[in-house]
Structure 1
Amino acid sequence: MSNNAIYILAIESSCDDTAAAVLKNNKVLSNVIAGQKIHEEYGGVVPELASRAHQQNIVPVIDSAIKKSGINLKDLNGIAFTQGPGLMGSLLVGTSFAKSLALSLNIPLIAVNHMHAHILAHFIDEEGYDKPEFPFLALTISGGHTQIVKVSSFFDMEIIGETTDDAVGEAFDKSAKIMGLPYPGGPLIDKLAKEGNPKKFQFTKPKAPGLNFSFSGLKTQILYFIQRNVALNPNFIEENKADICASIQQTIIEILMDKLKLAVTETGLNQIAIGGGVSANSGIRETLKAAETKYGWITFIPKFEYTTDNAAMIGIVGYQKYLENKFNDAGVISKARIEF
């Protein structure tokens, strides 16, 4: 193996996906994810079941990532893992495995903040994808988070706006549930919205101070809207499914864009990078791309596979931390909530 190459094994287990990746410097050699179908019948992630599934998946997933990378365990320089935030039982599986493997190979252990990883996924060396220049604004949108972050360097980040209640991913999933769509509902709303009229139904955008967001009021509004119309016409959802989805999605996109425009005005930064599971939404991607022409922004949209929870993004943070000797000892603990 080449002497100047740094090989990082990354492990991600914050929610219901068991993931492992191997990076050579900032390039991904392998990125393996095992999902968990079991949660679909419950309409959401069941923490105890997620933890058990991680225990079953972690060895085969890491084994597959190593084999696909074409390197051996002894070639690894460090092991990065998700410390938090996430489900405690799920995090513990990845943390314990990372600690044991790092100890047995006598190589550094690197704890990674999951939300930092969503932002820094843009720095994975991927053909056709540009990297933002510091400082820039990041919009991290997922099932558990909605944040606008001012990113000054790899390890200097400041949250300048966040949700005061529900995350944007929850707003999508709960709206889908209200409509009787299966879990996870966000991708289904996105799919159906493509066939609908986004101006057919009007929803009021909730007010939130400054750069903060609020989605709980929108969710309640959608619930009452559906109940009211179904009472008048039992087939209302079925007859208007695409239009309802398009209208909900359009409202959510407008809420996000209003705050981004305000953030650009307040900070003077016009580079916008999105990350997190909801950044896979095609409506959000198209709107952000259009903002380049409309507002003169420079926008960065990650490769699709680096939007949802994955280990490659953990690996890129691990690589940057490795360069700065930011290592952890075996006493490091998982944290369901973690300081940004």
Structure 2
Amino acid sequence: MKKKIIILGIESSCDETAASIIKNRDVLSDIIIHQNIHKKYGGVVPEFASRLHEKNIIKAVNLSINSARIQKNEINAVSFTLGPGLIGSLLVGASFAKSFSMGLKIPLLTVNHIQAHILTHFINDSNINNSYPKFPFLGLVISGGHTQIVKVNDFFKMEILGSTLDDSIGDTLDKIARKLGFYYPGGPMIELFSKNGNCKKFIFSKPLSSGLNFSFSGFKSHILQFIKKKSKDNPLFIKQNLPDICASIQRTIGEILLEKMKKAAIKTNIFRIALAGGVSSNYEIRRMFLSLEKRKNWEIFIPKKKYTTDNGAMIAITGLLKYEKNLFDSIYVSPYSKFNKF
């Protein structure tokens, strides 16, 4: 009989305080405490984020353990996000995890946030098609802080093939949304209003970037200038055309992602793609990739929406996979804010 391994996962890289319990690959609990204070500032305020993590982390962990209906002494190891992310927020999670590890005398497992988004696909019942991607596959990580194409050869053998040269896709959507009058986070608002819009009403230029890299700074500037010019000519332009503007923006972004992934697939001869990160919850991007699967007979893996945003389950599953390979860490490890390599 296979040994039952129970892992506590802690995520605190940005503004979500999350804790999850996983037994083998089954999620027993997944608690996320949101920090709504950042909406009034139009973005995450790092100092507020770290203070609220300090306030919420014990509550999140206790709720996670209680919801899983286990005892603390049943936990085999604790995993936590080491980076990348906001350094103050990461330090809160790291300090708690280290103390938890020492207090219960259980192993410590550090997790790369981007890697965890990709490995979300190996949680039981995490994909919309209820299956795991086989190695090798291409991971497309699209979120508020990251936009990367990753070649995944094994659980912990990953290679970045392309990355954003400037803004992430999520940050781009948030800044455009602000110009349209939406509050933070703006990406979901663009998605909401786009559902009643004509995605071919406005044609936006696509950025030119080398190889498999992305560039969204010029695209963002183009959209903002377009809105500014149209609004100058007609003060009611946004109000009269909001659904069409949002739909056209989403279609263009989806096309940018698809074009790069097609290039990556042809270059690597890998036609198995797994989406990951908060922006992968966007219905239009999901629809476009699923359409590609039908037309090209490629394999497309998309996580259920609850596993797209930052969550403790993705940290716990990565910890579990490291535990199975005895990849334990020292309590002397230090969080890092910027991502260099896996």
Distance in 1 between residues matched to 2:130 and 2:88, nearest whole Å:
35
Distance in 2 between residues matched to 1:289 and 1:130, nearest whole Å:
15
Q: Counterpart in 1 of 2:53?
A: 54
Higher mean C-alpha deviation, range 327-336 or range 108-117: 327-336
Secondary structure, aligned partner of 2:31: strand
Q: Counterpart in 1 of 2:23?
A: 24
Q: In the alignment, is the contact (CA less than 8 A) between 1:129 and 1:303 conserved in 2?
A: no
Q: Counterpart in 1 of 2:37?
A: 38
Secondary structure, aligned partner of 2:20: strand
Q: Counterpart in 1 of 2:229?
A: 228
Q: In the alignment, is the contact (CA less than 8 A) between 1:17 and 1:34 conserved in 2?
A: yes
> Quick check: 1:188 aligned with 2:193?
no
Tell me by how many angstroms 1:260 deviates: 0.5
Distance in 2 between residues matched to 1:282 and 1:270, nearest whole Å:
21
Q: Counterpart in 1 of 2:155?
A: 154
Distance in 1 between residues matched to 2:95 and 2:258, nearest whole Å:
40
Q: TM-score, with normalisation over the residues of structure 1? A: 0.98
Q: Counterpart in 1 of 2:290?
A: 289
Distance in 2 between residues matched to 1:170 and 1:7, nearest whole Å:
35
Q: Counterpart in 1 of 2:104?
A: 105
The letter for the 2-side match of 1:34 is: I
Distance in 2 between residues matched to 1:239 and 1:121, nearest whole Å:
40
> Quick check: 1:322 aligned with 2:323?
yes
Distance in 2 between residues matched to 1:104 and 1:67, nearest whole Å:
18
Q: Counterpart in 2 of 1:85?
A: 84
Q: In the alignment, is the contact (CA less than 8 A) between 1:108 and 1:328 conserved in 2?
A: yes
The letter for the 2-side match of 1:62 is: V
Distance in 1 between residues matched to 2:338 and 2:184, nearest whole Å:
25
Q: In the alignment, is the contact (CA less than 8 A) between 1:230 and 1:236 conserved in 2?
A: yes
Structure 1 runs, 4 residues or longer, greater than 4 Å off: none
Tell me by how many angstroms 1:170 deviates: 1.2
What does 1:116-155 correspond to in 2, within 5 Å? 116-126=115-125, 129-155=130-156
Q: Counterpart in 1 of 2:310?
A: 309
Q: In the alignment, is the contact (CA less than 8 A) between 1:129 and 1:302 conserved in 2?
A: no
Q: Counterpart in 1 of 2:167?
A: 166
Q: Counterpart in 2 of 1:216?
A: 217
Distance in 2 between residues matched to 1:33 and 1:155, nearest whole Å:
26
Tell me by how many angstroms 1:270 deviates: 0.7
Instruction: Note the residue ranges of structure 2 that are not aligned, 5 or more in a row.
Output: none
Distance in 2 between residues matched to 1:274 and 1:157, nearest whole Å:
15
The letter for the 2-side match of 1:41 is: K
The letter for the 1-side match of 2:40 is: E
Secondary structure, aligned partner of 2:161: strand
Q: Counterpart in 1 of 2:335?
A: 334
Residue by residue, what CA displacement relative to the aligned partner does 1:191-244 show, whole Å, maximum 9, x if unpaired? 111110111111100100111111000110011101111111000000000000
Q: In the alignment, is the contact (CA less than 8 A) between 1:19 and 1:311 conserved in 2?
A: yes
Distance in 2 between residues matched to 1:54 and 1:79, nearest whole Å:
17
Aligned CA distance change for structure 1 residues 230 and 77 (closer, same or farther; 3 Å):
same
Instruction: Note the residue ranges of structure 1 that are not aligned, 5 or more in a row.
Output: none
Distance in 1 between residues matched to 2:125 and 2:333, nearest whole Å:
31
The letter for the 2-side match of 1:67 is: N
Tell me by how many angstroms 1:93 deviates: 0.6
Distance in 1 between residues matched to 2:224 and 2:284, nearest whole Å:
22
Tell me by how many angstroms 1:3 deviates: 7.6
The letter for the 2-side match of 1:90 is: S
Q: Counterpart in 2 of 1:206?
A: 207
Distance in 1 between residues matched to 2:303 and 2:159, nearest whole Å:
21
Distance in 2 between residues matched to 1:305 and 1:134, nearest whole Å:
24
Residue by residue, what CA displacement relative to the aligned partner does 1:47-82 show, whole Å, maximum 9, x if unpaired? 000001101110111000000111100001000000
Tell me by how many angstroms 1:179 deviates: 1.1
Tell me by how many angstroms 1:126 deviates: 1.2
Tell me by how many angstroms 1:293 deviates: 1.1
Q: TM-score, with normalisation over the residues of structure 2? A: 0.98
Distance in 1 between residues matched to 2:250 and 2:44, nearest whole Å:
23
Q: In the alignment, is the contact (CA less than 8 A) between 1:51 and 1:93 conserved in 2?
A: yes
Q: Counterpart in 1 of 2:68?
A: 69
Tell me by how many angstroms 1:295 deviates: 1.6
The letter for the 2-side match of 1:79 is: V
Q: In the alignment, is the contact (CA less than 8 A) between 1:28 and 1:124 conserved in 2?
A: yes
